[in-house]
């Protein structure tokens, strides 16, 4: 089993739709969780951190379920500019930081 | 701050040639990561430095790859000899409070 897994998509949704992505991780000792966004032919950029209590940033909501070892990202009222690949990132500490990026989920928002 | 700087942005070379990729992290960031991204394998961590010391190089594919960080403001990733399967986008990222700031990447093509 891969350490971090995501549905690769693509997710094709109309403008204004709500879309949700899930990400599962295998290491129960994982400590920090993030969603990154990567536009085509660009570098990944941090979208938001994921906190245990869940957190919201405008149209974006992130949730963490430690018991089931998954995180989610919900995008409401999708915009054309939301079209990108969304990467789930999991971090844990042993004697050093271990960072694993998921393979990414591709989103296309259609007019 | 100019962000993470990588050079060259594009590199086309022939199989067997030596390739050197360069990275200047954001000033004050203590950790630096090198990644490789391909369509098939996604974003793979190659090596991670903390305070200029290599901490985790388990992702370095083979002896043809080497990385150095002689000081806090400069790192190199060298491939010698290069092979067509090394063709990918190579990113470096520096870290501040768990957020990774990626450079624009070097797109490497080995013919």
Q: What is the pLDDT of residues B11-46, one digit of tens each?
A: 999 999 999 999 999 999 989 999 999 988 889 999
Compute the nearest-CA separation of A98 from chain B (Å).
8
Chain A environment of B55 (Cβ under 8 Å) = 96-97
Contact A99 B48 (CB under 8 A): yes
Contact B56 A101 (CB under 8 A): no
Contact A101 B55 (CB under 8 A): no
Q: Which of B13, B28, B27 is nearest to B90 (CA)?
A: B13
Chain B environment of A39 (Cβ under 8 Å) = none
At residue A51, what are phi and psi to the nearest 5 degrees? -105, 155
- Say if CB B60 and CB B33 are below 8 A apart: no
At residue A13, what are phi and psi to the nearest 5 degrees? -130, 150
Q: Is the pLDDT of residue B110 over 80?
A: yes
Q: Residue-wise pLDDT tens for chain A (111 aa)?
A: 678 999 888 999 999 999 999 999 998 888 899 999 999 999 999 999 998 888 999 999 999 999 999 999 999 999 999 999 999 999 887 767 778 899 999 999 999
3-state SS class at A8: coil
């Amino acid at each position: 089993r891969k350490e971090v897994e995501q549905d690769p998509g693509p997710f094709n949704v109309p403008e204004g739709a709500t879309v949700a992505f899930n990400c599962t991780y295998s290491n129960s000792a994982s400590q920090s969780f993030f969603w990154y966004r990567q536009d085509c032919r660009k570098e990944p950029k941090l979208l938001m951190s994921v906190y245990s209590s869940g957190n919201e940033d405008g149209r974006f909501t992130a949730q963490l379920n430690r018991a089931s070892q998954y995180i989610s990202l919900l995008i409401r009222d999708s915009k054309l500019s939301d079209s990108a690949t969304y990467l789930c990132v999991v971090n844990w500490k042993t004697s050093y930081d271990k960072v694993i990026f998921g393979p990414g989920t591709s989103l296309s928002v259609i007019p | 701050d100019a962000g993470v700087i990588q050079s060259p942005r594009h590199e086309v070379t022939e199989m067997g040639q030596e390739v050197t990729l360069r990275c200047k992290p954001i000033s004050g960031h203590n950790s630096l990561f090198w990644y490789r991204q391909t369509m098939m394998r996604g974003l793979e961590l190659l090596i991670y430095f903390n305070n200029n010391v290599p901490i985790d190089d388990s992702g370095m594919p083979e002896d043809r790859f080497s990385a150095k960080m002689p000081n806090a403001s400069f790192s190199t990733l060298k491939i010698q000899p290069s092979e067509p399967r090394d063709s990918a986008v190579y990113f470096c990222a520096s870290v501040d409070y768990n957020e990774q700031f990626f450079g624009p990447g070097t797109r490497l093509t080995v013919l």
